[in-house]
Amino acid sequence: MNAPKVKRRVGKYELGRTIGEGTFAKVKFARNVETKEHVALKILDKEKVLRNKMAEQIKREIATMKLIKHPNVVQLYEVMGSKTKIFIVLEFVTGGELFDKIVNHGRMREDEARRYFQQLINAVDYCHSRGVYHRDLKPENLLLDACGNLKVSDFGLSALSQQVRDDGLLHTTCGTPNYVAPEVLNDRGYDGATADLWSCGVILFVLLAGYLPFDESNLMTLYKKISLAEFSCPPWVSFEARKLLNRILDPNPMTRITIPQILEDEWFKKGYKPPVFEEKENTNLDDVEAVFKDSEEHHVTENREEEQPAPMNAFELISMSKGLNLNNLFDSEQEFKRETRFTSTCPADEIVSKIEEAAKPLGFDVHKKNYKMRLQNLKAGRKGNLNVATEVFQVAPSLHMVEVRKAKGDTLEFHKFYKKLSTSLKDVVWKSADDTQHATSQQSAA
């Protein structure tokens, strides 16, 4: 049996698995060792922040986010810094992504879609009133809490990948193209508030229709359709909802409907409950100042990781599966996910070697660090090069769980890759939980 591994620590937080990844940041599951509270730890590269001249803007937006306490926005608790990293401690939301519901169950009933849209508008309106804009609203940023309420994540932090010029307008084209407003694509500068609203309109369309309003494999064709707002609603969408969608998905930001006008819309108002919450008072911003002053006395201590697979505790296992149904963890055919998992009774070193052997013939460059791997497709796909992150966790002395995540690129390309990979790993992948339970029950009967 392997000796227990001391987990990586950042200050009072014990770090677990990676739960999200972007160009500028990584998000890890973490636990406050003092309070036992589970949090999400967003890790930013300080050098990238400085290189992009974003320090002041990020500092301002992090400080503002600390002041924001809204039931439909992921809470920012505190900020820490080391010599090379900025650590943002966020509320850990357990219910998964809203869009997994669409993927698994198809379009929503109109009253259900309206409830989520109302919560989205509540969050966006509140943050806009405090001068904070998201600028990259997309499915990955819409989470659900344990009660099924919408929580917008990364509000105010997505500015990291963008630039404001002297005219006060944003100019960088970024985000998922399907959700981006026409004025963002034409690079003439855009207002964060009206651009956010367009993305909300695309999200509402997806909730009601079950598919995207603008979706073309050719980027130029996609951009043209977005610029002209060329879309049509399916027949099951009500006339009132269509009317609202047409006013939000207006390609002219000057005539696009505003949030105060949405709040007065008849379709929107049905069953609307304004959010009830207390404003934060006397929030301490000393940690934000300390991080950006970069004095060594305020640096948080980081403990190094040992070279063994990370052990996984029961809560981490449960947090990865909806409804506490652990069978989902061991299903090797999780369709349309940005991440998937399988279990194996093979030693960790053997699992890593087998993944490397399987990935290279598929055209992937392999980078290894301990029991984590980054696979990069050398050939660019629909959304650039597909990058896949894998990590091996120890669930029990003789049982490992392997997580395979899309870090970058197209989700459908990721699924094609995973199917080919899982075929090559048949002798490594253990049976699913259902098979195991079935076999156990047969043995008991015998």
> Which residues sit in the known binding site for ATP?
42
Closest CA to 204 of 248, 148, 256: 248
- Classify each residue of 114-134 as buried b or exposed e, where b means 16 or more C-beta atoms within 10 Å of its C-beta: bbbbbbbbbbbbbbbeeebbb
- Classify each residue of 33-71 as buried b or exposed e, where b means 16 or more C-beta atoms within 10 Å of its C-beta: eeeeebbbbbbbbbeebeebebbebbbbbbbbbbebbbb
Q: Given strand 85-91, what is the order of strands in its sheet? A: 9-10, 13-21, 25-32, 38-45, 85-91, 76-81
Rounded Cα gap, residues 168 and 191, in angstroms: 9
Rounded to the nearest 5 degrees, what angle is found at the Cα of 423, between the Cα atoms of 422 and 424? 90
Helices (H), 252-407: 259-263, 266-269, 286-293, 314-319, 348-359
Could you confirm whether 365 is annotated as catalytic? no
Helix (H) or strand (E) holding 181: none
Check residue 11 and report its DSSP letter.
T
Check residue 178 and report its DSSP letter.
G
* Cβ pair 41, 28 in contact under 8 A: yes
Where residue 207 falls (left for φ over 0; alpha for ψ -120 to 50; beta otherwise) is alpha
- The gap between the terminal CA atoms of the chain, to the nearest Å, is 31
List 125, 136, 154, 196, catalytic entry: 136
Rounded to the nearest 5 degrees, what angle is found at the Cα of 211, between the Cα atoms of 252 and 217? 75
List, in order, residues 6 or more apart from 345 with CB less than 8 Å away.
Answer: 398, 399, 400, 430
Rounded Cα gap, residues 13 and 32, in angstroms: 5
DSSP 87-127: EEEEEPP-S-BHHHHHHHH-SPPHHHHHHHHHHHHHHHHHH
List the catalytic residues.
136
